[in-house]
Amino acid sequence: MEKQISWSRLDNTAKLFPAISGEHAANVFRLWADLEEDIHPKALQEAVEQALKDLPAFAVKMRRGVFWYYFEQNPAKPVVREEFCPPCFRIELRRNRGFLFRITYYQRRVNLEVFHALTDGNGALYFLHHILFYYLKQVCPAASHWEKPAELEDVSEQEMWEDGFAKSDEESAGAAGQPMIFAPRAYHLDGEMLPIGAQQITEAVFSAKEIAGLAKASGATVAQYFAALLIEAILEERCREVPPKEKIVISLPVNLRNFFPSKTLRNFFIFVRIGVDGSQGNPGFDNILAQVGEQMKGEITREKFLARIRQQRRLEEIPFLRVVPRVIKDFFMRRTYRRGEHTYTCTLTNMGRVPMPREFVPHVKRIGTMLGASRNNTLKVAVSSLGDVMTVVFNSTCREEDIPRYFIRRLTAEGLAAVVTCNEVPR
């Protein structure tokens, strides 16, 4: 029997989020699953409790230490509620029994919202799969006899707590670190700000096969095609009359599990910045796509990631910094983060084809994700696919809808069908 872990340090990326989060930047993301029938609250509550027994890395609360934040086991039970707040709204830990995630439901949809200090999209998806497994076993007669799918049994407790950054750094001893370089300022998206906590959300559903075919016809991946299209949308809608002096820069989170042998359920991703110069006007989609493809191929490599991991880890290991009180670390991390916020225009995350245990397929219609935007990073775009259903979600803290409108119209102009929904935001 494995020894139960009662406390844990935050991973390399997670250490940033408690310091920078507040009412203007919740750092909460959402995964959701649309099922065939309306949600049964009691069954969902029991499913969440059972999933936490399997995945104790999520049954934690965050504590403030003298030098760092840390996690310790949370013996409380989370409360499942009908959706009661805007998507990606700040998780108030004291009102949430200390948990760093929130489970809500609305009609046929199950929502899992997570404070990013706890995990990333990959870890949250693994948690959601466990919740769906225990939920479907209760509510679907055909699922009552299910054994847990093998893909939900492949992570040990030791592996789920693992710090992927530390492991990768240790296994790459001798690799050169990347020098600290501050990127230049990027073009910033302004607009009419919504009230605190409100988000303008535009959701578009496409055929994943048609999108993949369109990207392939241009010699690109879906991620490259969407990044280029997003840059074109910004240039056309915001910069047509006055070309920007700064580059349009897209921040792309990359799942490091695809490059290093880790099954961690904690954060294990890194951001890559892709930029295009629009100072001479819109260079045209083909030109933008070529630049994006070239940059992504050059930046998304195991060697580049190793160098960046090593550089970040070396900062942690400076003896002086290790004994600096947490409140002082928080102050300087906030300052550094604010400076970094000005180095990209918006964020685009692509989860790709979401893996789904085959037993779930008849019962789960759609999987989606969204990233909470903030006052300084006003637009975030998230893409996910289940089977042939691709969902693209635009989250913005500004009232303007011009960029998602352009993005979607460009795709429909190529002959693609789209189902588009928008939320109502307060005036």
Q: Does 158 reside within a domain?
A: no
Are residues 88 and 23 located together in one domain of the fold?
A: yes
The C-alpha atoms of residue 78 and residue 72 are separated, in whole angstroms, by 15
Radius of gyration, CA atoms only, the chain: 21
Residues 360 and 240 in one domain: yes
In terms of domains, do 13 and 138 share one? Answer: yes
**Residues 131/104, Cβ–Cβ less than 8 Å:** no
334 in a domain, yes or no? no
Q: Which of 122, 146, 170 is the last residue of a domain?
A: 146
- Cα distance between residue 388 and residue 386, in whole Å: 6
Cα four-point dihedral sign 373, 378, 384, 390: positive
Angle at 127 between CA 74 and CA 202, to 5 degrees: 115
Q: So what's the pLDDT on residue 9?
A: 86
Residue 40 lies in domain: 7-146
- 285: in domain: yes
Instruction: Tell me: do 64 and 205 sit in the same domain.
Output: no
Q: For 267, which DSSP code? A: -
> What is the C-alpha separation between 324 and 33, in angstroms, rounded?
43
On whether the CB atoms of residues 379 and 346 are closer than 8 A, the answer is yes
The domain spanning residue 39 has which CATH number? 3.30.559.10
- Co-location of 208 and 124 in the same domain: no
Contacts of 367 (CB under 8 A, 6+ apart): 31, 32, 33, 34, 354, 356, 384, 386, 391
Residue 66 sits at φ, ψ, to 5 deg, of: -65, -40
pLDDT in tens for each of the 427 residues of the chain?
Answer: 455 567 788 988 898 899 889 888 899 999 999 999 999 999 999 999 999 999 999 999 999 888 888 999 999 999 999 999 999 999 999 999 999 999 999 999 999 999 999 999 999 999 999 999 999 999 998 888 888 888 888 788 889 989 999 888 776 665 555 555 678 999 999 999 999 999 999 999 999 999 999 999 999 999 999 999 999 999 999 998 899 999 999 999 999 999 999 999 999 999 999 999 999 889 999 999 999 999 999 999 999 999 999 888 877 777 777 778 888 888 888 888 888 889 999 999 999 999 998 899 999 999 999 999 999 899 999 999 999 999 999 999 999 999 999 999 999 999 999 999 999 887 7
Q: Buried b vs exposed e over 261-276: b needs ≥16 C-beta within 10 Å?
A: ebbbbbbbbbebbbbb
| Alpha carbon distance 9, 69 (integer Å) | 7
Number of domains in the chain: 2
CATH number, domain at 281?
3.30.559.30
CA atoms within 13 A on the CB side of 356: 22
Do 13 and 19 touch, CB atoms closer than 8 A?
A: no
* Residue 371 domain-assigned (yes or no): yes
Q: What is the dihedral of CA 211, 216, 219, 221, to 10 degrees?
A: 60
Q: Token digits for 78?
A: 């989370």
| Contact between 415 and 223 (Cβ < 8 Å) | no
Q: Are residues 260 and 351 in the same domain?
A: yes
**185, part of any domain:** no
Q: What is the DSSP string of 3-64?
A: PPP-EEE--TTTTHHHHH-BTTB--EEEEEEEESS---HHHHHHHHHHHHHH-GGGSEEEEE
Residue 225, in any domain of the structure: yes
Note whether 142 and 206 are same-domain residues.
no
Record the tokens describing residue 204, joined without a space: 């578009």
On whether residue 54 sits in a domain, the answer given is yes
**Whole-angstrom distance, CA of residue 69 vs CA of residue 326:** 8
CA angle 121, 257, 99 (to 5 degrees): 35
Residues 248, 356 within the same domain: yes
Question: Does residue 317 sit within a domain?
Answer: no
247 shares its domain with 138: no
**Residue 248's CB: how many other CB atoms inside 10 A?**
25
In angstroms, the Cα distances linking 253 to 231, 351, 379, 401 are 16, 10, 14, 23
Sign of CA dihedral 189, 190, 192, 193: positive
> Based on the domain organization, do 294 and 376 belong to the same domain?
yes
Picking from 100, 131, 146, the residue at the C-terminal end of a domain is 146
What per-residue confidence (pLDDT) applies to 283?
A: 94
What's residue 33's pLDDT? 98
250 with 142, same domain: the answer is no
> Does residue 333 contact residue 20 with C-beta atoms inside 8 Å?
yes
Q: Decide which of 123, 146, 169 is a domain's last residue.
A: 146
Rounded to an integer, what distance in angstroms lies between the CA atom of residue 336 and that of residue 352?
31
Q: How many residues does the chain have?
A: 427
Q: Which residue has the tokens 């949430």?
A: 96
Q: What is the pLDDT of residue 1?
A: 40
Q: Are residues 13 and 87 in the same domain?
A: yes
3-state helix, strand, coil in the chain (%, to 5): 35, 25, 40
Angle of CA points 384, 36, 211, to nearest 5°: 25
